Amino acid sequence: MSEINKLFEQFIDRFTRWAEKQDDIRGAYILGSRARKETPADEWSDLDLPIITSDPDKYISDTEWLDDLGKYHLTFLEKTGIGDEIERRVLFEGGLDVDFPVIPYDLLKNHTLSPVDIIMLNKGYRILVDKDKELAAIVRDLPVPPEPIHPTPDEFDNNVHDFFYHAVLAVKKFKRGELFYAKSVCDCYMKRLLISMIIWHALAKHGLNYDVWHDGRFLEKWAEPEFVDGLRKVYAIYSVEDFQRALRETIRLFRCIAVETADMLGYDYPAEGDNYAVGLIEDYLNRK
């Protein structure tokens, strides 16, 4: 076991002993790489440690409780992306980065689970504290993850139209002199649509049981090698010239993947919208 993994295990033991003494903490468990066998934790992995509590505000509004767990250098709050759930993220001494999603006890009693919760629990979990045996009941009756499905023709069209609409928008902002905003549209919003299309392509080619993880995790392992290679060209440095290059490369890669995906799914690719948008883009870029 690596030194960092030993430090994490010591932290987990310390946390468990502490949590058992806190009346408001009714449960705690580990999710993510430090609980799963598939793609398990390495020296760069963090620790995902949800806390189930009857007093969530104590862990959101206060930081004194962190002193009981060890010396820390950074802490902040962040939405988890699951409903209104908040997590406290902490960087402890030794580089131990720990995420504490704060889950109200009422949600646990109602066995309220999001699709992401179900996916992550099915990939592996490790119960640390379960004072009321609620966690044991949840995982005993844990539903299987929702079956992946192919996009409908309308969902596919919406993705393509959304992508090219924002490509035009990015160029308009660019021509106005808003390079930062234009680059953000190209490198963030449009890339999320690109990743969705890469996922749909993988499922169409390899079948719905093909593991594409979520949010682009481990994309380098499951996406087509030529698409991964293509990603090297689609991000721009902060310059006028490179923005134009990266935008064109992003469009080229997206179109390649989308056309192949449409063909595999038996859908019509919305070429007219693509061609009109690209014509506008080239016209705008060539204007003095």
Q: Where along the chain do its domains lie?
A: 3-140, 153-286
Cβ atoms 177, 243 nearer than 8 A = no
The structure tokens listed for 93 are 């001494």
User: What is the average pLDDT score of the chain?
Assistant: 91
Which fold, 153-286? Four Helix Bundle (Hemerythrin (Met), subunit A) (1.20.120)
Q: What digits encode the pLDDT tens for the residues 113-157?
A: 666 666 677 778 889 999 998 888 887 777 776 678 999 999 999
Which fold, 3-140? Beta Polymerase; domain 2 (3.30.460)
**Cα Rg, the chain, nearest whole Å:** 23
The structure's pTM equals 0.78
The structure tokens listed for 18 are 């502490």
The structure tokens listed for 171 are 């160029």
Strand, coil or helix: 89? strand
Q: What digits encode the pLDDT tens for the residues 61-111?
A: 999 999 999 999 999 999 876 556 789 999 999 999 999 999 888 876 665
Contacts of 237 (CB under 8 A, 6+ apart): none
